[in-house]
Chain A
Amino acid sequence: MAGIVISGVRKRFGDVQVLRDVSLSVAPGEFVALVGPSGCGKTTLMRIVAGIERHDAGSLDIGGRQVGGLRAADRDVAMVFQSYALYPHLTVAENIAVPLTMRRLSSWQRLPLLGRFWPGARATRAGIAADAAAAADSLGLGAMLGRRPAQLSGGQRQRVALARAIVRSPKAFLMDEPLSNLDAALRVQTRREIVDIHRRVGATTLYVTHDQSEALTMADRVAVMQAGQILQVDTPERIYADPADLRVATFIGSPRINTLPAEIRADGMVMVAGLAMGLRAEGAAGEATLALRPEDLRPDPAGTLPVVTEHLEFLGECTLLHARHAGLGTALTLRLPPGATAAQGPFRLGFSAPRALVFGADGRRRAVRVLEAAHV
């Protein structure tokens, strides 16, 4: 078991700077999910770790060894590709066995025809076949060892790709959106399976996805990436409740977090549309953003946010209330219990002050203190 330490990695394609100074470490045995919008450079980073792509600057360390100069075959990591990349001409058993064949047999023993008769080849091959079958069994592929990838369903192919990764014990697993080609039901099921495998094998895993719910449910820690930069790496709970950056706050969470233009006065008071929010921010005065999760808002006659109802959206387990700030015109979304009805016309919203998030003009999080008297 080995950790991955990525530090200061940069990469450009032509004149597009795809990765700018990316640093990330995955502890031994840890499951880290890398999320970010499409095109932000997740795949590129993963391929650089795997050794398929070369980085322009920075260093890579896997299991305490600098691997920047090593080729993919020598890095001893396993990768699950988004398209699975199974060898179409090989059976399931043969596909799973490839990484073992390449590592355990000498190049003489791999020769076509002749290789079979090379000393030791027979015993090694038997061992490889047994290990491949065991890996297949652990993923419920035991009955399909003789089939070709074309004869498998999407979910089964996906599991063959997983089996090919776990069959040897690599220093780390790299998975690039392994579930994105599956339908919704299968995705949830396979999500569980991958978590189970991780628990069982305990392998260091870097998992790329653009689906935040996947990241939040599966990972020990989540790294949020945007435009070639990692914005924050933290536990799922803290990424959600305690984002360090406005972009993290808006990317994570569905429905999206509510943002209101605010101002920090010289005395630190946070004001929205001229009203004090009962929060005092540290640091310099100036423009700011107040961000509130939909579930932290509630109708409150004594609240500080005057709004007008727009419409209700019934989702089953809850109801979303879409409203608009009376003064600013900013849209606000509330999560209400399923039976809730909304007052027509203008009313006021309050929020749970300890969970309110304030971001400075640069998008960085500002520490705030909640004032005792809620309405000043």
Chain B
Amino acid sequence: MSEAVARARPTFVPRGEGWAGWMLCLPAVLSYLLLLLLPTLAAVLLAFTDYELGAPGLAWIGLGNFQELLDDRGFRISLRNTLIYVGIVAPVSIAGALALALLIEAATRGRALFRAVFFLPMVSLPVAMATAWQYLLHPTIGPLNAALAQLGIAGPAWLTSSDTVLLSLAFIGIWEAIGFNLVLFLAGLTAIPRELHQAAEVDGVKSAWERFRLVTWPLLGPTTLFVVTITMIRSVRVFDSVAVLTQGGPNRASEVLLYTMYTEGFTFFRLGYSAAITLVFLIIVLGLMLLQTRVLDKRVHYG
């Protein structure tokens, strides 16, 4: 009995509060079920069927789609390209943003201006900017190759040669991602107590490098971890630039996961197969999040 009393006391519920709580949540709950949970479950189930849009019926084929994925050279290329893309974009845009943030934070002059400049791609229509890049990187009329020609270098066909296309896309990806990471790093830097830097100086820290090692880097840990995870997740989702600039070409050299899923699903209407690709994509994203919360989180929080 005393147990019941003890449990009842802290959660004293005013009359009607339970009802009000559910009523206030109801629109969100209904739309959540209908627009998020149900379709997600359906997508998962779809991955185990041979459903094609317009086909009269569908059959449960178990792991058939995944079997096919393993044998599908196109998918393997797509997965590999995505990993390469993430492998380039994430490290470069993170390290670059960190360096930029330190440089911008080092003095007050021009801080707001530079922050705005590097942030600009975040708010620019990616499709439009992709077309701007297409012009910039155009093999014959593009300013980049024109400039290279002045130096006596024959520039490659950046976006239409299978040797350079992925690199060019990654470069555009870095350009897009760096501003966002920069803003996060700047927020992280301003959260470091100034007194810690000063204590370090009194303790005998003389060089910028030592200060970075002793104070900035460890205290930036949570921010860095977050930036690493979100940058990887965002770059796994690369779609716009591929859809606009290369459509996966030439010769599948720029085929990436989401674009493959899009073409399988909405060009060839093989929804079951496309759902299987989606599932692979989902597993990668979940894996990255798990890495953040389970493995790395413990190492950067000093609570």
Contacts and interface: CB of A to CB of B under 8 A. Distances in A.
B199 to A, nearest CB: 4
A102 B200 CA distance: 9
A298 interface: no
Contacts of A156: none
Chain A CB within 10 Å — which of B198, B199, B206, B214 has the most?
Answer: B199
A89 B199 contact: no
B215 A72 contact: no
29 contacts: A50-B198, A52-B198, A52-B201, A52-B202, A71-B206, A72-B198, A72-B201, A73-B203, A77-B202, A79-B199, A79-B202, A81-B199, A83-B193, A85-B193, A85-B198, A85-B199, A87-B196, A87-B199, A87-B218, A90-B218, A98-B200, A98-B214, A102-B203, A102-B204, A110-B210, A148-B302, A149-B302, A150-B303, A164-B203
A87 B221 CA distance: 13
Interface of B: 193, 195-196, 198-207, 210, 213-215, 218-219, 221, 302-303
A110 B214 CA distance: 11
Given A73-B204, A88-B302, A107 B210 contact: yes
Nearest to B303: A150
Interface residues of A, number: 30
A103 interface: yes
A99 interface: yes
A119 interface: no
B283 to A, nearest CB: 33
Contacts of B214: 87, 98
Interface of A: 47, 50-52, 71-74, 77-79, 81, 83, 85-90, 98-99, 102-103, 107, 110, 112, 148-150, 164
Contacts of A89: 218-219, 221, 302
Nearest to A75: B202
Nearest to B204: A102
A47 B202 CA distance: 10
Query: Which A-B residue pairs are the 3 nearest by beta carbons?
Result: A102-B204, A85-B199, A72-B201
B193 A98 contact: no
Contacts of B198: 47, 50, 52, 72, 81, 85
B202 A73 contact: yes
Given A87-B218, A89-B302, A150-B303, A73 B195 contact: no
A85 B210 contact: no
B102 to A, nearest CB: 18
B84 to A, nearest CB: 28
B202 A72 contact: yes
A102 B214 CA distance: 10
Contacts of A73: 201-206
B215 A103 contact: no
A71 B303 contact: no
A149 B196 CA distance: 13
Contacts of A164: 203
Q: Which of the listed residues B202, B204, B218 has the most CB atoms from chain A within 10 Å of its own CB?
A: B202
A164 B204 CA distance: 12
A102 B211 CA distance: 11
Contacts of B195: 81, 83, 85
Contact of A103 (B199, B204, B303): B204
B204 A150 contact: no
A264 to B, nearest CB: 50
B196 to A, nearest CB: 5
